[in-house]
Amino acid sequence: MQINLQHVPKTSYVDLEVLYDTVIVGGGPAGFNAALYAKRKGLKTLLITHDVGGQLENTSIVDNYLGFHTIDANDLTKAFLDHVKSLEVPIITEQYIRKIEKKDGIFYLSMANFDMVQSKTVVIATGGSHKKLGVKGEDEFANKGVSYCAICDAPFYKDKHVLVAGGGNSAVEAAIDLSKWATKVTIVQRSVLRADKILIDKMNEIDNISVILQTSIKEIIGSITMEGVKTINNQTLEEGYIEADGLFVEIGTLPNSLLVKDLVELNGYGEIIVNSNQETSLEGMYAAGDVTNEPFKQIIIAASAGAKAVLSLDQYLKTKK
């Protein structure tokens, strides 16, 4: 899912010659809220993003964002965008940042089209990308049975049979969450379970969770929505089929941190390490949302981190003055 960009100008209210107080890179919940807070603080602000929506593109309905019982993810993205646009925040969309340099206390951000902007601070809010199985039918049935967020979509599978692909902590945690809603939850893992023992023990106490090991999903089958998956046993090479109403892919995420890998400290997962004020190891550079080492990848947490980043950098700019 992707928001219609027809009415989103690729460049609006943008002056490439000005020295901005902050440039926000990323157009998801963290980036949008950072832009909102920066504008309200009276900072010269610019938001640059290629895609609009971030991880909201990977879900259909949101029912755990405060203030909305349920809301279409596309509508929530539009609400975020409209709010930021109403404040006349300069926005450049459909554009990547190819390089960031810092010289004499100023950040220089070069875009893919080789335009350059300058800023006193930068907020990296580039999010993360869910790892995909890479099998036939995965893209076709995305948001039509295939999901990447158990917390987001579990209630939509009440009294149904769902599969969880993966064997790490996130997969077992997803299975536990889903077991509260689904009639049956089946973990399908290509090798063995790698989750922490305490999680596996907790899962084993739940009657409606079963585990199939040494088995890979080869294809997702369905018509209008997903109806099941084709599998193969990695030891016997026996092929099989599992009928199910949904599939939750829980094989990890990849932080979109390549842009700053040589500028800031990353952890072993490639996530940007930030402190409680969203500060990175590079003075004047902040990060928020799924690209950071924040353990809980949720819309509301990303949005709040964007606010924290700007409140922090605003204090930083005041001390610099």
pLDDT in the model for residue 60? 67
Domain boundaries, the chain: 11-129+253-320, 132-249
CA–CA separation, 291 and 294 (whole Å): 8
Exactly one of 21, 51, 149, 290 is catalytic; name it: 149
CATH of 132-249, one of 3.40.50.2000, 3.50.50.60, 3.40.50.880, 3.20.20.10: 3.50.50.60
Q: How many CB atoms lie within 10 A of CB 277?
A: 13
pLDDT at 62 over 90: no
Annotated active-site residue 153? The verdict is: yes
Annotated active-site residue 149? The verdict is: yes
Q: What is the pLDDT of residues 154-172, one digit of tens each?
A: 999 999 999 999 999 889 9
pLDDT in the model for residue 13? 54
**Stretch among 2-6, 19-23, 312-316 having the lowest mean pLDDT:** 2-6
**Stretch among 54-58, 80-84, 142-146, 176-180 having the lowest mean pLDDT:** 54-58
**Stretch among 12-21, 189-198, 305-314 having the lowest mean pLDDT:** 12-21
Of 295 and 38, more confident: 38
Exactly one of 152, 177, 207, 290 is catalytic; name it: 152
Exactly one of 82, 104, 139, 153 is catalytic; name it: 153
Residues whose CB is less than 8 angstroms from the CB of residue 43 and which lie 6 or more positions away in sequence, other chains included? 20, 21, 22, 310, 314, 317
Q: Which CATH superfamily is domain 11-129+253-320 in?
A: FAD/NAD(P)-binding domain (3.50.50.60)
Look at strands 226-233 and 239-243 and give their pairing: antiparallel
pLDDT in the model for residue 90? 92
CA proximity to 209, closest of 238, 188, 229 = 188
pLDDT in the model for residue 170? 84
